[in-house]
């Protein structure tokens, strides 16, 4: 929807600029997608404490991935891309917080699927679609590619908080345990991933 609205209101040139920025932001989803697929069949055998450690670790690993994505993107924009593409950097910066939260959602969605609660994923996916659509319709005509980046961040962040609500209220997780790292977390994670 965002590409179509950008083209309609701002033209093909802006679509190309936005597409480039969007592809760089997508880099921060590579590792979470791989890890979530590896964890999907293992989630049913984990204790709640282990799952909390995974979510907490993912939260902080995703922060590092965002910083790496930011660094690599600026490197490519500075040395490899035409200066015209730098117009997409503000949109990239605006979408990055949302991409961080969506990278966290990737793990939560895998856990919810492994738990057999597909209706929760359907509800969150539907909410995301509606939020992205509404935010795009509101922000793209006003702000162009920056509006698209902002729409992504608003929508993905909202869905992250919906999933947190589900984890706390439907799966009895404690919010504090989901987000704050614990001392033994790294040891536990290496055991979980490599056993």
Q: How far apart are CA 37 and CA 106, in angstroms?
A: 9
Calculate mean pLDDT across residues 38-64: 92
Q: What is the mean pLDDT of the chain?
A: 92
Calculate mean pLDDT across residues 1-18: 97
Q: How many CB atoms within 10 Å of residue 141?
A: 14
Calculate mean pLDDT across residues 142-170: 98
Q: In this predicted structure, what is the pLDDT of residue 189?
A: 58
Is the confidence at residue 191, as pLDDT, over 90? no
Distant-in-sequence contacts of 166-170, Cβ < 8 A, 24+ apart: 166/112, 166/120, 166/124, 167/55, 167/108, 170/117, 170/120
- Of 113, 103, 128, 112, the residue nearest 35 (C-alpha): 103
What whole-number percentage of the chain has pLDDT above 70? 92
* Boundaries of every domain in the chain: 2-194
Between 97 and 49, the more confident residue is 97
Between 176 and 140, the more confident residue is 140
Calculate mean pLDDT across residues 105-112: 97
Q: In this predicted structure, what is the pLDDT of residue 188?
A: 62
> Which residues are CB-contacts of 84 (< 8 A; sequence separation ≥ 6)?
17
Tens of pLDDT along 61-92? 899 999 999 999 999 999 999 999 999 999 99
Distant-in-sequence contacts of 14-17, Cβ < 8 A, 24+ apart: 14/144, 14/145, 17/84, 17/85, 17/87, 17/88, 17/91, 17/145
Q: Binning pLDDT at 50, 70 and 90, where does residue 176 land? A: confident
Q: In this predicted structure, what is the pLDDT of residue 185?
A: 61
Q: Binning pLDDT at 50, 70 and 90, where does residue 179 land? A: confident
Q: How far apart are CA 112 and CA 167, in angstroms?
A: 9
């Amino acid at each position: 929807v965002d590409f179509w609205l950008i083209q309609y209101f701002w033209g093909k040139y802006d679509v190309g600029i936005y597409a480039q920025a969007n592809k760089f932001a997508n880099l921060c989803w590579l590792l979470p997608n791989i890890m979530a697929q590896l964890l999907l069949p293992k989630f049913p055998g984990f204790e709640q404490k282990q799952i909390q450690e995974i979510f907490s670790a993912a939260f902080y690993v995703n922060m590092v991935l965002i910083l790496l994505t930011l660094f690599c993107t600026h490197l490519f924009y500075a040395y490899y891309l035409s200066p015209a593409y730098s117009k997409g950097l503000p949109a990239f910066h605006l979408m990055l917080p949302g991409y961080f939260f969506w990278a966290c959602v990737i793990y939560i969605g895998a856990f919810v699927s492994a738990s057999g609660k597909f209706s929760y994923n359907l509800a969150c996916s539907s909410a995301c679609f509606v939020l992205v659509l509404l935010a795009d319709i509101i922000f793209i005509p006003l702000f162009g590619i920056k509006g698209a980046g902002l729409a992504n961040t608003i929508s993905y962040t909202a869905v992250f908080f919906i999933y947190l609500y589900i984890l706390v209220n439907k799966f009895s997780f404690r919010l504090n345990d989901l987000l704050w790292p614990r001392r033994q977390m790294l040891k536990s994670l290496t055991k979980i991933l490599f056993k």
